[in-house]
Amino acid sequence: MTYLSLYAASFFLGALGAWLVSHWAPRFGLIDHPNARSSHSTPTPKGGGIGILAAFLLSSISIGISINFWLPISALALLGFLGDRIPLPYKFRLLVQFSLMIFLVLKTSPLPSFLSWHWLPVLFWVVFIVGTANFYNFMDGIDGIAGINGVIGFALLAIYLQVFRGQPWLSTLAICMSFSCLGFLPLNFPKARVFMGDIGSVSLGAIFGGLIYLSADTFLDFVCMAFFLFAIYADVLTTIFFRWKDGEKLTKAHRRHLYQIFSNEMGFPHWLVSMSFGLIQLVVGLTILMARLYNIVTLILIVVFSSVMFIVSTYYVRSSWLIKINQ
């Protein structure tokens, strides 16, 4: 299968999965009913990310990616699909996720040289991949945000893998994932007729984290590639911090992500919030790519500046929102 046909197939599978679930979800109990935490007001089919998983499997097998990589991630996605249908205890989900990613890390490529302390790199990468999978899932809460960030994040990652790491096979997989998200988007944005569900969001996060694991040979590589999901990491990490600071139980469901405050509490339309997060990701990612061509000092300054600006901005927005609701 040629690269172009693989990209076309990934786009088609992403679209097909969304279309099938949007029509047949009630038969399989794949309906997301609104609750107090929801950002939508009408029952909506979920699990449309099954086409994204199909694209991942087709691409991985066609390119020759190790079964030790795509099999545990696929199992992780199927666990998410089960969670889309029936509630699963978070401790059970985490136990399975960690077990699968331990298998992936131990069975795939040698650990990068910049983390060569016996069991520590295994722990680091397992936590990173599981964390990225769940972070991505946390951000799949309004129309289009997960798909848009998938298109942009994986495209940026593909460029980096091709230009700076010389790994065209991994770059091809990243491009395929970007196209699968693009195929999924028309039924999810600007108005969602189907949700990606855990099967899509969890698998996208795991794939992204897994690709960084397979390709990061230096700490610089790791930082650059992680910043291609800057909007997701930044929102989730700052939200965790503010919830911890306020004494909340971190395992309790909530609506305190920055994107949720914008869409649910401040009334901005979903499409505008999702596009804004995508634009932030695109600008930060392209800046990282350009800085990588010059010198490390410039890159560090961009990383620090982006992080500080997001922290200051989210603090201002959250503070303004709290003042407003307390008036």
- 143-186, pLDDT tens digit by residue? 899 999 999 999 999 999 999 999 999 999 999 999 999 999 99
Instruction: At 166, list the tokens.
Output: 């010389």
Q: Residue 244 pLDDT > 60, yes or no?
A: yes
Alpha helices in the chain (DSSP H): 3-24, 50-63, 67-85, 90-107, 119-138, 145-163, 168-184, 197-215, 219-226, 230-245, 258-260, 270-292, 296-326
Compute how many other C-beta atoms are within 10 angstroms of the C-beta atom of residue 117: 10
**Using one digit for the tens of pLDDT, what is the confidence trace for 206-227?**
999 999 999 998 899 999 999 9
**Quick one: how far is CA 90 from the chain centroid?**
18
Contact 77, 199 (CB under 8 A): yes
**Domain locations in the chain?**
3-229
Rounded Cα–Cα distance for residues 203 and 130 (Å): 10
Instruction: At 327, list the tokens.
Output: 């008036």
pLDDT value, residue 30: 78
Full-model pTM: 0.92
Residue 200: which of 131, 277, 137 has the closest Cα?
A: 137
**Confidence class for position 255, pLDDT limits 50, 70, 90:** confident
pLDDT value, residue 11: 97
Q: Residue 326 pLDDT > 60, yes or no?
A: no
pLDDT value, residue 264: 82
Q: Which residue in the block uniquely carries the two structure tokens 């798909």?
A: 147
Q: Which of 41-55, 144-158, 180-194, 228-242 has the lowest mean pLDDT?
A: 41-55
Contact 184, 18 (CB under 8 A): yes
